[in-house]
C-alpha cells in the first residue's frame, strides 16, 4: 500500500496536499479488484484499480486498451467527456495497477437506492442512461455489423459453443439486429450521474468492452439491473419489468420502444431475442463466481423470457 501511494504521489499527485487514501475491496472476490481513492484536502482526485491476480492484470490491460480505443471512437463528440480517463497501467510489487482520473458524480446504484422520490429518480436515471446508450450506438454506427456471420460469431461466445437456440437464430436472421462496440456491463454501478446538471457524468469499468458486442444486451442490462435495485432480485421485479402493468413496466416499455425506433428494430422481434441478455448475464455470474442469488435470478428470468414471451407487455 505504501509503495503504491508513494508511486501515485510521485507521478500523479505532485501538486496535491494532505493526501489521504480510501480503500474499496469490491464484490467480485479473488477474481475482482481492489480500488483505491486518493483524496487531496478532502476531494477525490485519483483512482487506482488494483488486480488481485495475474488474470486480473490481463483484464486491466483489456480495460486500459478499451478505454483508449473508446476515447478515439468518441473524439470531439459530446460523449467524449463521459468516458473514464486512463492515466497509466503499471506493475508494482507484482500487482497490476490501473490509474484513472477521478470523475465527480453519484453512482447510479446509490442514486436508485434512495427512498426519497424513488419513482422520479428511477425514471430520470433510466432516461438519461438510455439516451447515453443510444447516442453511443449512433456515434459508432459505421462499425455496426449485421451480417449473419458476424452475429453468429458474437453469439457463439454467449452460448459457450452450444447449439444455437431459436432466439439466437432470430437475432442472426433478422437484418435489423446488429453487433457493435458495446460496454458489456452497463449497470447502474458503472454509471456516474451529475445530479445538478441532470446528465450522465461518466461511464466506468470498460473491462468487458467488445467491438462486436450486443447493444440490445446493454439496453436490457440497464433496465433489469435498475429493476432489481428498486424491487430486489425476485419474481416481483420480473413481473414489474415485463408482465404486470404499472409505472415501472411503462418506463421499461418506453425505453425499449425508443431504442427500437432509433435503430428500426421491430418490438416483436426484440421480445424474441431478449434471452440473449440472460445468456450474457449468466456468463458474467459464472465468470465472477456469483453462483448464489444473482445466478438463480438470471436463470429464472431467462426461463420467463422464453416461456412467457407472448405475455411480455412492450
Please determine whether the domains at 2-101 and 106-311 fall in the same fold group of CATH.
Answer: no
Domain ranges for the chain, please list them: 2-101, 106-311
Q: What is the pLDDT of residue 31?
A: 64
DSSP the chain: -HHHHHHHHHHT-TT--SEEEEEE--SSGGGSEEEEEEEETTEEEEEEEEESSHHHHHHHHHHHHHHHHHHHHTTTSTTGGGB--EEEEEEETTEEEEEEE---SEEHHHHHH-STTHHHHHHHHHHHHHHHHHHHHHHTGGG-B--HHHHHHHHHHHTTTPPPPHHHHHHHH-TT--BEEE-S---GGGEEEETTTTEEEEE---TT-EEEE-HHHHHHHHHHHHHHHHH-SSHHHHIIIIIS-SHHHHHHHHHHHHHHHHTT--HHHHHHHTHHHHHHHHHHHHHTT--SHHHHHHHHHHHHHHHTGGG---
Residuewise pLDDT in 10s, the chain (314 residues): 677 888 888 899 887 788 888 988 765 556 678 899 999 888 889 999 998 888 888 989 999 999 999 999 999 999 999 998 999 999 988 889 999 999 989 999 999 988 678 899 999 999 999 999 999 999 999 999 999 999 999 998 888 767 889 999 999 999 999 999 999 999 999 999 998 888 999 999 998 999 999 999 999 999 999 999 998 888 888 988 999 999 999 999 999 999 999 999 999 999 999 999 999 999 988 887 777 889 999 999 999 999 999 889 88
Look at the pTM and tell me if it is higher than 0.85. yes
pLDDT value of position 29: 57
Which fold would CATH assign to domain 106-311?
A: Aminoglycoside 3'-phosphotransferase; Chain: A, domain 2 (3.90.1200)
Residue 156 CB-half CA count within 13 A: 7
Does domain 2-101 fall under CATH 3.40.50.300? My reply is no
Neighbours of 30 (CB within 10 A): 9
Amino acid at each position: 500500500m505504501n509503495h503504491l501511494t508513494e508511486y501515485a504521489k510521485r507521478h500523479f499527485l505532485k501538486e496535491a496536499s494532505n493526501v489521504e487514501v480510501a480503500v474499496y475491496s469490491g464484490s467480485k472476490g479473488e477474481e475482482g479488484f481492489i480500488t483505491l481513492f486518493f483524496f487531496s484536502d478532502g476531494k477525490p482526485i485519483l483512482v487506482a484499480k488494483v488486480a488481485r491476480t495475474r488474470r486480473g492484470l490481463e483484464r486491466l490491460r483489456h480495460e486500459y486498451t478499451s478505454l483508449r480505443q473508446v476515447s478515439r471512437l468518441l473524439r470531439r463528440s459530446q460523449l467524449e467527456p463521459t468516458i473514464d480517463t486512463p492515466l497509466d497501467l503499471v506493475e508494482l510489487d507484482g500487482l497490476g495497477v490501473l490509474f484513472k482520473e477521478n470523475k465527480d458524480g453519484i453512482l447510479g446504484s446509490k442514486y436508485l437506492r434512495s427512498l426519497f422520490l424513488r419513482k422520479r429518480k428511477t425514471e430520470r436515471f433510466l432516461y438519461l442512461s438510455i439516451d447515453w446508450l443510444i447516442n453511443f450506438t449512433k456515434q459508432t454506427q459505421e462499425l455496426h455489423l449485421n451480417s449473419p456471420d458476424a452475429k453468429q460469431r458474437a453469439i457463439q461466445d454467449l452460448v459457450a459453443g452450444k447449439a444455437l437456440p431459436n432466439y439466437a437464430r432470430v437475432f442472426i436472421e433478422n437484418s435489423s439486429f446488429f453487433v457493435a462496440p458495446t460496454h458489456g456491463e452497463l449497470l447502474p454501478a458503472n454509471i456516474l450521474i451529475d445530479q445538478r446538471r441532470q446528465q450522465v457524468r461518466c461511464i466506468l469499468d470498460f473491462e468487458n468492452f467488445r467491438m462486436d458486442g450486443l447493444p440490445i444486451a446493454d439496453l436490457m442490462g440497464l433496465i433489469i439491473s435498475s429493476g432489481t435495485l428498486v424491487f430486489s432480485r425476485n419474481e416481483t421485479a420480473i413481473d414489474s419489468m415485463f408482465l404486470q402493468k404499472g409505472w415501472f413496466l411503462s418506463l421499461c416499455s418506453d425505453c425499449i420502444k425508443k431504442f427500437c425506433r432509433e435503430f428500426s428494430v421491430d418490438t416483436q422481434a426484440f421480445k424474441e431475442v431478449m434471452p440473449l441478455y440472460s445468456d450474457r448475464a449468466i456468463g458474467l455470474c459464472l465468470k465472477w463466481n456469483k453462483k448464489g442469488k444473482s445466478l438463480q435470478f438470471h436463470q429464472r428470468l431467462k426461463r420467463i423470457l422464453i416461456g412467457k414471451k407472448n405475455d411480455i407487455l412492450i
